[in-house]
Structure 1
Amino acid sequence: MLGRAIDTVERISAAFLAVVTALVFVSVILRYIFAWGLPDANDVTENLLGIVIFWGIAIASYRDEHITVDLLWTPLSARGKRIVDVFATIFAAVCLAYFCWAMLEKVSDTRDAGVTTIDLGFPIWPYHLVAWTGILAATCLTVLKIADVVRAPAAE
């Protein structure tokens, strides 16, 4: 079940990254070959890139593929490493939960303010909502990671 959820999160992030790549490619071709630009290409690309980053945070935080500093962790005993791992994962979950709450407020504020793209007037809040779901996924996966870290055997 958890493996399927992680695969789904990866696929969502990959799909948005593919859309960003295609949009940038088409925009560049149109601009440099035909001297014509896609309306709102920059705004849409920026918002989609934010979505990709937020969904990528979900996978990186679950798989421990984020930047770590092992300077203090490496010399610790197996018990010390376990304590640090549990504390760090709980701390990350708390930080992500706060970020999730703050981002949800940003979605609401953006919707209430009626912020739109420059050229076509597309509302921005749906992009923020999809990005927020990525942070929500990151929070949920990190909470699940706490159980994995607590159950894992002590590091040698």
Structure 2
Amino acid sequence: MNAMDSFIAGIEWIAAGFVGLVAADIFISVMLRYFFSYSIPDGYDFGRLFLGILIFWGIAATSYRGAHITVDLVWESVGPRLKRFIDVFATLVLLLVVTVQTIMLFDKVAQTKAQNVLTYDLQIPTWPFFLVAWLGDVAAVLLIAVRTFRLVFNPKSVNEEHSTAPVE
């Protein structure tokens, strides 16, 4: 495993960690509310903010692997060269969309910090949560760029069934 594969695995572990964090928050909140009639201060805000972070880190993890939902009707019916073209084109479009999203999300981080948006109970600033979500989006841009590079120059290095077709 080279450094880039270690970086990719690290991104996936971070995303998995946030899945566990969101699940733990929900489980603990429900148990405390049901058995003890107690709620975690800012439990709703933390759940909402962690879910936002999870979404952006999840985008990073699935974008590289190509593990998101796809419809491959056209792709399945064409030859290997056109399959590779479709893969590269689709990945470039994804790179463009996620790059624009990352730029816009950074603006949201800056606005949230400037407006001093706080959680309801504990009055904790929310901009650090937005920053962590933005870092997930930055990771997605980097991983999609790596995926694009690998699809163009070494398609067999991408861990996905689409890249296993021989190149003519």
Query: What TM-score bracket applies, with the shorter chain setting the length?
Result: over 0.9
Once the two structures are superposed, residues 3-37 of structure 1 have per-residue CA deviations (whole angstroms, 9 ceiling, x without a partner) of: 11012112211222222222222211111111111
In the alignment, which residue of structure 1 is the partner of 2:44?
42
Q: Deviations over 1:72-131 (max 9, x none)?
A: 211112211111111111111111111110100010011111111111111111111000
| 1:64-79 superposed matches below 5 A | 64-79=66-81
Aligned partner of 1:86 among 85, 88, 91: 88
SS in 2 for 1:122: coil
Aligned counterparts of 1:48 and 1:80: Cα–Cα separation in 2? 40
Aligned residue number for residue 26 of structure 1:
28
TM-score (norm 2): 0.88
2:122 is aligned with 1:147: no
Match of 1:127 in 2: 129
* 2:114 alignment counterpart: 112
- 2:13 is matched with 11
Q: How many matched pairs?
A: 156
Task: Between 76-85 and 32-41, report the one with greater CA deviation.
Answer: 76-85
- In structure 2, the partner of 1:53 is 55
Question: Structure 1 segments of 4 or more deviating over 2 A?
Answer: 153-156
Cα distance in 1 for partners of 2:64, 2:16 equals 16
Identity, in percent, stands at 41
1:102 aligns with 2:104: yes
Cα RMSD, aligned residues only:
1.4
